[in-house]
Amino acid sequence: MAYERVNWENLPSTNTPVNADNLNKMENRIDQIENDFKNAGTHNSLYRGKDITDLFYDGTLSQQIAAGTFDDIFIGDYIIGKVSGRKYLVADLNYRLHTGDTECTKNHILMIPERIMGTAKMNNSNITTGAYVGSKMYTEYLTPFKTVINNDFGSGHILSHRQYLKTAVTDGYESAGEWKDSTIELMNELMVYGSNIFHNIQHGAINTMDKSQLSLFRLRHDLIVARNDAGDRYWYWLRDVASSLYFAFVGSQRSCEQHQRFELWRCSSYFPNILNKRKDKNMENTDFIERIAHLEEQKIN
């Protein structure tokens, strides 16, 4: 309903008294505006960059996420990991809601680490056989980074969801995929840039649940660039197959490139983290973070 202005008049007029009726009218309108902004869509359009660590550990964020209001959560806000001390950025809200062969029905936050988390290879040689699911990254090298994230948030706070991941490569394009239970994975080009660039989609299995640019990268293009703990720019792997030899990656100058570079990697993983468990046992602990963590890989010489 449209707001009806009072059109205040100065004294000595008595046509617009400062009384309970007029003041409550303003209060009610303020409440209505505030409630209109309590949703994932609105908060996905605002970058803030505030420390919300305490709200995570005292359970406040869990309540807000479970309610779908995201009151104190905006893009770019961050939580400091309990064990590693790493900073994790809010990259999107409800990014996977209502997706998957088994529908994701839980409100959540997708987060990424601010700095790179380590180094590893995509494969031990220049191949993309088996696509992402067949890579050493997926089967082996992501494991220690998943452990870091689990230790920082608690395994009970990592939201498991269904993801369609590629399993085969034919003539340089992804030719098959499967539905997988997923928690922490590499990002794809769509999540970073909002479009496919080197990802070979001319043929084959092009289905994906990750089909739009993350709000963090849409609002802050500069954050597409990843850095190490010393502040130096680093490139990182994406899970898209570019050819029979190369996976796509994000260059250290924010360029989109393709290469195998089997001697290095920077992986970006996303994890749907569920926020802190509440003391209220009736509150379902199924809310929080889904993110693509910038796990970075650097050259091993």
The total of structural domains in the chain comes to: 1
In a domain, 161, yes or no: yes
273 pLDDT band, cuts 50/70/90, is: very low
For residue 294, the model assigns a pLDDT of: 36
For residue 167, the model assigns a pLDDT of: 95
Q: CB–CB of 271/295 below 8 Å?
A: no
Per-residue pLDDT tens digits for 104-151:
999 999 999 998 888 788 998 889 999 999 999 999 999 999 999 999
Residue range of the domain that includes 58: 40-294
Q: What is the DSSP letter of 121?
A: -
275 compared with 291, residue with greater pLDDT: 275
Q: Which of 87-91, 181-185, 212-216, 283-287 has the least mean pLDDT? A: 283-287
Q: Which of 61-65, 74-78, 177-181 has the least mean pLDDT? A: 61-65
Let me know the angle formed at the C-alpha of 195 by 191 and 198, rounded to the nearest 5 degrees.
100
User: End-to-end alpha-carbon separation of the chain, Å?
Assistant: 65
In a domain, 9, yes or no: no
d(CA 204, CA 172): 10
Q: Among residues of the chain, what percentage have pLDDT more than 70?
A: 81
Per-residue pLDDT tens digits for 14-43:
888 888 988 888 887 777 777 777 889 899
Pairing of strands 173-182, 185-186: unpaired
In a domain, 61, yes or no: yes
In a domain, 2, yes or no: no
In a domain, 91, yes or no: yes
81 compared with 268, residue with greater pLDDT: 81
In a domain, 67, yes or no: yes
For residue 84, the model assigns a pLDDT of: 95
In a domain, 5, yes or no: no
**In this model, does residue 250 exceed pLDDT 50?**
yes
Which residue, among 131, 110, 127, has the nearest Cα to 180 in the 3D structure? 131
d(CA 207, CA 214): 18
Per-residue pLDDT tens digits for 224-234:
998 988 999 98
pTM of the predicted structure, to 2 decimals:
0.78
Q: CB–CB of 153/289 below 8 Å?
A: yes
For residue 2, the model assigns a pLDDT of: 66
**In this model, does residue 76 exceed pLDDT 90?**
yes
For residue 37, the model assigns a pLDDT of: 76
279 pLDDT band, cuts 50/70/90, is: very low
In a domain, 210, yes or no: yes
